[in-house]
Amino acid sequence: MQTRHLSKTIRLALGNPGKAFRRLWALGKGYRLRAWCKLRGKRLVGARSLHVFGHLDIRGPGVVELGDGVIIEMRVTAFTYSPHAVIRIGTHSFLNGTRFGCAEEITVGRDAILGESHIFDTDFHSTAANRWDPNVRARVRAVRLADNVWVAANAGLLPGTTIGENSVVGFGAICSGPYPANVVIAGNPARVLKTIPGAIEVV
């Protein structure tokens, strides 16, 4: 993986020096972030060949696990709210201003494209009338996105959401519950609009 990224950067340097410099700068920023997290006791796992073009803000007692070659643009926030909380991002995924709030589990497959969206596995506060009662717990349900999912800007993925492989979540969609693979999802509440081009028809 490291060799592949290095050879790609060398090819870029020959054809586009400016772009190659920006890529090397982002890769160096990724290495510095890993070192800073280790120094500060933040639980960042993996993150080999992490490219940080924007800013990655990691907070909380849980674990943030990044696959190889993840790319960060704009300000991405990965906040955990319990020691056993885990945010997992698959290899070669692109995060562009995404906001995560995790009390249990948020899993994103490989090759994902996540825009400036909100992905939460908790409601943070109970919907019950007595929500101020300290014994009343907010809903917590794992969120899972399969490989090659694209989530557009302003989308909201609520607790218990699952998105199937290759599916696209449209701009501003509010998702809750299971959605199949190979479809376009949009609306509030979000629903399946159509099968994506080139995909096997969903029954």
Average pLDDT taken over every residue of the chain: 89
Is residue 16 over pLDDT 90?
Answer: no
Q: How confident is the model at residue 33 (pLDDT cuts 50, 70, 90)?
A: confident
Q: How many domains does the chain have?
A: 1
Taken in order 189, 194, 196, 201, the sign of the CA dihedral is: positive
Q: Tell me how far CA of residue 97 lies from CA of 71, 72, 94, 168, 170, in angstroms.
A: 11, 8, 10, 17, 16
203 part of a folded domain = no
Over residues 181-187, the mean pLDDT reads 97
202 part of a folded domain = no
108 part of a folded domain = yes
122 vs 130: CA distance, rounded Å: 18
Question: What is the residue range of 186's domain?
Answer: 2-195
Amino acid at 29: K
Asked if omega into 189 is within 30° of 0 (cis), the reply is yes
23 vs 116: CA distance, rounded Å: 21
How many CB atoms are closer than 10 A to CB 116?
A: 18
pTM of the model: 0.86
* Per-residue pLDDT tens digits for 130-175: 888 888 788 889 999 999 999 999 999 999 999 999 999 999 999 9
**Which CATH number fits the domain that encloses residue 102?**
2.160.10.10
* Per-residue pLDDT tens digits for 96-124: 999 999 999 999 999 999 999 999 999 88
111 part of a folded domain = yes
167 part of a folded domain = yes
